[in-house]
A and B are shown apart, each in its own frame.
Chain A
Amino acid sequence: MTTQTVGGWATEQLAEFLGAVSSSTGRRSAVNVAIQRAAEAIDAEVAAVVTSGTVEAAVGFGDSVVPEAALVDAANGRTSSVDVPGAGVCVAVAAPLDDVGSTSTLVLARSGGAFTPEERILLRAMARTLGLTLRTMNRTREEMRAALHDTLTGFANRALFVDRLLHALTAAERHGTNVAVLYLDLDRFKVVNDSLGHAAGDEVLIAVARRIKGAIRDLDTPARLGGDEFAILVEDVPSVSAATVVADRILHSLKSPFLVWGKEFQIAASVGIAISDGTTQKPADLIRDADLAMYRAKADGQGGYAVFERSMRAQLVERLDLEENLRSADQRREFRVHYQPIVRADGGLKGFEALVRWQHPVLGLLAPAQFLQVAEEAGLIAEIGWTVLDQACRDMAGWVSGGRRPLDLNVNFAASQIAQADCTERVMGTLERTGLAPERLIIELTETVLMQDSEAVVARLTQLHARGVRFAVDDFGLGYSSLRYLLRFPIDVIKIPKPFIDRLATGGRDAVIASAIVQFAQSLGIPTVAEGIERQAELDVLHDLGCPAFQGFLFARPMTAGAVSALVGNASKQSEPVALPVGADVVARSDALASPSFL
């Protein structure tokens, strides 16, 4: 009936076959379309794809049992016929899907007689076409997966997470629901990486991912955003508390120790939660908010969560910026030590309190109040303390060298410095290195430090005290003052804080407290230093009370090391009492100190 050549017919069939197979969306669909079209193209009752010894898909047997053994044999060339119910014994022909090492074979079986050479060529071409399509699909799928997932944990990566979040936000806006982003950062991950190496760190990340996965619903999207930072997209969140329940569940799941390479690690995490507000929001904004909340959670104490509030944004951005700079400030040598003179009642210079300043690259010279809280929260305070100690000891050693009259050096210590096991060694090492005599160093501790009241701290202080280092209680009476620690710790000096001094001249309760402290200290034989004296009247009262030493703007503001050098150097040359620099640094002088001599 037809005047076409078989070759022409076959070419068209192949074009149709390619069109149908290549428009399939996955392997299963491609294989099913391929066997259907191959059977139709050459009028076969049966078509099947045999993969690795099993029938992947077959058409021609309906929903009755597929003769797997016969089709596998046909695929392997062991038989050239297959018994097909309803069609009888059919001639079978097979073609591999790939040139070499093919694991899949296309098999066709027909009752209408043997296959012609042209039909065999067509079948081979169809098999190769299917093989090529499947390989392309595999590669594309793998590439897509790799492009959108974290290879370590299998979680979504940032790109996929942002995409899912975008869809979730759109859907939430449409349905009037909310989505939450949980931003999770491991708290002590660095310890694992530093002590066991990155391979162990990777093990921990995999284990953490597994626990996160176990703590969330299947429909929630977990992602690894990088390093030890994870994010979880929780959709359809009815309330803030529903999101905090998820955070709680995740944090709880991380509580039991992680066993890595035979070693147990306790790893906590901080979680920040941000919830969509029903308006048009960008994924990046929600992720950033959750990130900021996470930093708040970290600041509030590790192992917890915090829910984002609008006010956090500005504060935290500023704080993070400061912290970021602070981390490298020591390396950039931006910490400066200024010195405020401490004056004896007789007008002589008793010594200096070393006070840290930060020469911020943009903000200029910053006072401790502007950055010490951040340093404390970022865990940087101890190192700053050691830097100050080192510099101050070095400066003081220089000033008192050459047999000059000794001066005291007051240096503030943070709780975390005292808590360090090698605290004693570091202090003694610094003194030794800088050549400053231990007797010249007075370590100022706040009441908070002393309240720790641990055996280890008592031991450390006692050791240092035994080697000549003295201790002062800073801001005495402002915190949880307890007479007990005055007896328990080796305290050599009590500093009366500025708030008491400020109201000294006006009388009243503060004046009574200040005089009580002085008298109390005198009765214990502990000398006092009155801080923050700005007015002559205050000095007069303290003088009358018998306070032996003073510190404040009335005498001098904190000054640079250079200024101290000049002051101390001049005094040394003249061997005479030296007046403090005139101007802003010297506010006034009492009659009693009309000619104060500092040396």
Chain B
Amino acid sequence: MAVATLVSTRWLSVGSSDLADSAAAGRAAALAATGGKTAKLLIAFASHGHAPQALLDAIAEVTHNAPLIGCTTAGEIAASGPSDNGVVIVALGGSGFSVRSASAVAAEGQLRDASAAVAGCARGLEGEFKALLLLSDGLGGDQEEVIRGAYSVVGASIPLVGGCAGDDLRMKETVQFHDRQVLHGAVVGAAISSDSPIGIGVRHGWQRVGGAMLVTSSSGNHVYALDDMPALDIYLDKLGVQGAARTDPAAFTQFAITHPLGISRRSGEQVRFIGGANFDDRSLSCIANVPQGGLAWFMEGDENSVLEATDAACTDAIAALGGHKPIGFVAFDCIARRGVLGTAGIAKEVERIGAHADGAPVAGFYTYGEIARTHGTTGFHNQTLVVLALS
């Protein structure tokens, strides 16, 4: 199916497919998204289950090699609702948009350098309103380095937005796309310039559980000790974890996505998604850096708090459009929020986003981390919904 909006010289449309054959799914979603028009950028979110090369080749064929960035997900979002095992493609075009895309593989964990290289595509891009859309490998190290690398190139001049690729919670390997290239451990990005405002909204809906703890031992995104106790043990005990999650890694991850770690920041707190635990050294593995010496606390969410955050993020994104009508939303929604909401809840959430879009197409994916820098220097988030609104 396809939903398209034409506003003067800019257009954004979304196509999706749940066909099992990767090439067929890619072809169907791309045709639905472009409707035969020449797209300036395609943004593709696909299930990790798809054969990525077949998917990209098929998309390139029917779009005449339109520039593409994308990644695998932990679930796709389209106006029709959330899905698994599908493909969602956002196409944008029209004279009001200018787009440049780039990709770089982070050698030896050099995320910052890779991100800076990708951000270079924003150089010289004309236009009043801009955003740099970044998609990265959420399992590839400290994602704050992605923000730092991009910020070192574009500075405060361009907001950053995007998310970390997923692999349907296998937590093993994610894939990034750039044109026809299938990439691993990469940062892909597109600098988008528009003659109409671009809005970004960021909200999470988590609440603290229990008191604050001191991070007594951590290194990078590994947390070894909280209040001088093994981090995993204190996590299991304080949250009263029972059953398989105490010993089974997969069950633990399932539990942990709805029980993140909060760390102290000027803005109040940042949420850290706990991706896994080491049952031997009793440490926790987060998606981003948890500084030693800082305060941390455990968090949890419920359906209400998460949905309230959804409303707030959409409202913020629309407000940033300065009265201009949105032509489409791209949502980067944390997999953890999906975990809290459940199947019925996420359908409700997508519906709410669609309501805020007021008929404009909606697309997105469930992420392993979210990117949104609109002010200040920081911009990496966990357990958060980031909404990009184009007008």
Contact = CB atoms under 8 A, between A and B. Distances in A.
Interface of A: 1-2, 4, 8-9, 12-13, 15-16, 19, 36, 39-47, 59-64, 84-87, 110-112, 119
A42 B376 CA distance: 8
29 contacts: A1-B269, A2-B268, A4-B264, A8-B264, A9-B264, A9-B266, A12-B293, A12-B295, A15-B294, A19-B292, A36-B148, A43-B375, A43-B376, A45-B155, A45-B156, A45-B375, A45-B376, A59-B377, A60-B151, A60-B155, A60-B156, A61-B156, A61-B157, A62-B119, A62-B151, A62-B153, A84-B156, A86-B156, A87-B156
Nearest to A110: B376
Contacts of A110: 376
Contacts of B269: 1-2
Nearest to B263: A12
A8 B263 CA distance: 12
A64 B264 contact: no
Contacts of B265: 9
Contact of A16 (B151, B156, B294): B294
Given A12-B293, A16-B294, A44 B377 contact: yes
Contact of B266 (A43, A47, A61, A84): A43
Contacts of B119: 62
B123 A1 contact: no
Contacts of B183: none
Interface string B281-318: 00000000001111100000000000000000000000
B135 interface: no
B267 interface: yes
Nearest to B377: A39
B154 interface: yes
Contacts of A59: 151-152, 155, 377
A40 B375 CA distance: 10
A39 B153 CA distance: 15
Nearest to A119: B266
A35 to B, nearest CB: 9
Contacts of B267: 43
A4 B154 CA distance: 33
Nearest to B214: A12
B158 interface: yes
A64 B265 CA distance: 29
A40 B295 contact: no
Interface in B248-288: 264-269
In the complex, which of the residues A40, A42, A61 has the most CB atoms of chain B within 10 Å of its own CB atom? Answer: A40
Contacts of A84: 155-156
Interface of B: 119, 123, 148, 151-159, 212, 264-269, 291-295, 375-378
Given A45-B376, A62-B153, A63-B153, A4 B266 contact: no
Contacts, number: 98
A41 B266 contact: yes
- The interface centre, meaning the residue of A2, A41, A46, A61 with most chain B CB atoms within 10 A of its CB, is A2
A219 to B, nearest CB: 26
A8 B376 contact: no
A64 B157 contact: yes
A4 B376 CA distance: 21
Contacts of A60: 151, 155-156, 377
Nearest to B208: A3
B301 to A, nearest CB: 13
A493 B332 CA distance: 116
Given A9-B265, A87-B156, A111-B375, 10 more contacts: A4-B212, A4-B264, A12-B294, A40-B378, A42-B266, A43-B267, A43-B377, A44-B377, A85-B155, A86-B155
Contact of A64 (B155, B212, B268, B375): B155
Contacts of A4: 212, 264, 295
Contacts of A2: 264, 268-269
Contacts of B156: 45-46, 60-62, 84-87, 111
Nearest to B269: A2
B131 to A, nearest CB: 11
A64 B295 CA distance: 36
B290 to A, nearest CB: 10
**Candidate in B266, B291, B292 with the most chain A CB atoms within 10 angstroms:** B266
A87 B295 contact: no
B126 to A, nearest CB: 14
A260 to B, nearest CB: 52
Given A2-B268, A4-B212, A16-B293, A62 B378 contact: no
Contacts of B376: 39-40, 43-45, 110, 112
B268 A1 contact: yes
Contact of B293 (A15, A61, A64): A15
Contacts of B153: 62-63
A62 B268 contact: no
